[in-house]
Structure 1
Amino acid sequence: MPTTPIKLAVIVGSTREGRFAPVVANWFTGHARQRDDVIVDVIDLAEHRLPVVLPTFGADLATEDAEALAAVSVRLSDADAFAVVTPEYNHSFPASLKNLIDWHHQQWHAKPVGFVSYGGLAGGLRAVEHLRQVFAELHAVTVRDTVSFHGAWTRFDPDGHPNDPEGCAGAAKTMLDQLTWWARVLRDAKAVTPYHA
């Protein structure tokens, strides 16, 4: 039975100069775009200068900040599921990613979140564990399986292709299968009964 494809927002969480994030994100989005059941929207936080300071109580955001926020907010609202591409900084995830998350609330409600992490020995998994707690607070469902690159800088060739394409492709398929299952189930459920946090 044909179903409407899942709208998957791939969030690229690192904004640092010289970041490795585009290599990992480009590989993952290329893999996701091969699926017939997924429409990919890449939200690269380096391309969106979100405000970092809340306005004083009762004050409005500056026009430029409000526009930057609105441009991202509508894309998060439209998404059925999220894949977060994150490095691990000091045993956790980047401030730019926390800033994006904290500016939004209902956009995450009753939607699944998967993780593509990278780093040194831990492969970004400590960042993922912190993100699971944050997304639980936002009424999101995190999927169990992740895609993780340990020693990420040695895992890709100069053209951005993984040295172990079968292993990471298998991990990506498992995670995307879980994401799309949850996204369909939750999307259908919300169509019948709206979710209230």
Structure 2
Amino acid sequence: MVKIAIVLGSTRPGRSGEAVARWVYDLATKRNDAQFELVDIADYNLPLLDEPVPPSMGQYSKDHTRRWAAKVAEFDGYVFVTPEYNHGLSGALKNALDYVYAEWNNKAAGFVGYGSAGGTRAVEQLRLVMAELQVATVRSQVALSLFADFENFSVFRPSSHHEQPLTMMLDQLISWSQAMKSTRERENLEQYRS
């Protein structure tokens, strides 16, 4: 069974993302075709990228980096719960993505965005970053509006119609995560034989 991280992509005090990530987690864990874990980047206290060697070299020198790398490596796929700040993803999420490299490779990702325009522009930026990290992204995504899905722009009250796109995204993500897991296993076998 594949293991999927639901990554909370905001560290802002009073963030709305915590309620959104919990909603995703609660609906996802009703399924029996994958294991889900909520991963809060705030728990890793990642300073602005402070590794002296590029992540693609895999030479992590800081304890916080090694801890984050170990957590990222545990999963076959990811649901990124992302706010949209100034038409883009949060700096904290971008920083967390940039910390490691190989641990992301040949996996799959889906997205739940929230913001004034449903977080769609943040998700589009994330798709570009995922491509460079060699993460396959699924087409379906969830776009939550600060105007329609948050009471007074702060209390998360999602419309029930969002459950269908979330289910579609998770269906695709689990399928792609299984396929990418097979790819990683095949590559590991080939490396072992050579």
Tell me the TM-score normalized by structure 1: 0.85
Q: Partner of 1:182 in structure 2?
A: 176
Contact 1:51 1:69 in 2 (8 A): no
Q: CA deviation at 1:53?
A: 3.9
Return the offset for 1:30.
0.6
- Is 1:191 the equivalent of 2:179? no
**TM-score, structure 2 normalization:** 0.86
- Alignment identity in percent? 34
1:155 is aligned to: 149
- Going from structure 1 to structure 2, the CA distance change for 1:55 and 1:48 (only over 3 Å counts) comes to closer
What is the one-letter code of the residue matched to 1:149?
Answer: L
Deviation at 1:111, TM superposition (A): 0.5
Query: Deviating runs (4+, > 6 A) in structure 1?
Result: none
Query: Of 31, 37, 43, which residue of structure 1 is paired with 2:27?
Result: 31
Deviation of 1:138 (Å): 1.0
Question: Which residue of 2 is the match for residue 173 of structure 1?
Answer: 167
- CA-CA distance at 1:188 after TM superposition: 1.5
Distance, in Å, in 2 between the alignment partners of 1:83 and 1:55 is 26
Aligned partners of 1:13 and 1:94 also within 8 Å: yes
Given that residues 65 and 100 in structure 2 are in contact (C-alpha distance below 8 angstroms), is that contact kept between their aligned partners in structure 1? no
What do residues 47-102 of structure 1 show as CA deviations (whole Å, max 9, x unaligned)?
22013142556xx85xxxx2222222112111000000000000000010011111
What count of residue pairs does the alignment treat as equivalent?
183
Deviation for aligned residue 1:192: 2.0
Deviates more, 1:125-134 or 1:39-48: 39-48
1:124 aligns with 2:119: yes
Contact 1:115 / 1:147 at 8 angstroms: preserved in 2? yes
Asked if the contact 2:106–2:183 (Cα under 8 Å) also holds between the matched residues in 1, the reply is no
Aligned partner of 2:57 in structure 1 is: none
Q: Distance in 2 between matches of 1:106 and 1:73?
A: 9
Unaligned runs of 5+ in 2: 54-59
Amino acid at match of 2:115: G
Q: What's the CA shift for 1:155? A: 1.3
Secondary structure in 2 matching 1:107: coil
**CA apart distance, 1:126:** 0.2
> 1:193 is paired with a residue of what secondary structure?
helix
Partner deviation per Cα, 1:119-168 (whole Å, 9 max, x = no partner):
01x1100000011011101111011110110226x415698552x22x11
Q: Residue in 2 aligned with 1:20? A: 16
CA contact (8 A) 1:6 1:180 kept: yes
* Partner of residue 39, structure 2: 43
Instruction: Give the superposed CA RMSD.
Output: 2.2
Structure-to-structure mapping, 1:80-159, within 5 angstroms: 80-120=76-116, 122-151=117-146, 154-156=148-150
Q: Distance in 1 between matches of 2:150 and 2:129?
A: 30
Quote the Cα distance in structure 2 between the aligned partners of 1:188 and 1:56: 33
Q: Any conservation in 1 of the 2:16–2:155 contact (CA below 8 Å)?
A: no
